[in-house]
Amino acid sequence: MPGLKHERLFPFPVAGVDEAGRGPLAGPVVAAAVILPAKGVPRGIDDSKKLTAATRATLCARITGCATVGIGVVEAEEIDTLNIHWATMKAMTLAVDAVAATLGHAPGHVLVDGNRLPRWDYLATALVGGDALSLSIAAASIVAKHHRDEIMLRHHADYPHYGWASNKGYGSAAHLRALDEHGPSPLHRRSFAPVAQAFLVS
Binding residues for a divalent metal cation: 18-19, 113
> Of 122, 123, 125, 106, which Cα lies nearest the Cα of 114?
125
**Amino acid found at 40:** G
Q: Which residues are annotated as a binding site?
A: 18-19, 113
> Of 43, 67, 65, 66, which Cα lies nearest the Cα of 55?
43
Q: Can you say whether residue 104 is alpha, beta or left, with left for phi > 0 and alpha for psi between -120 and 50 degrees?
A: left
3-class DSSP assignment, residue 120: coil
> Of 107, 106, 89, which Cα lies nearest the Cα of 10?
107
Residues 24 and 171 sit within 8 Å (Cβ to Cβ) = yes
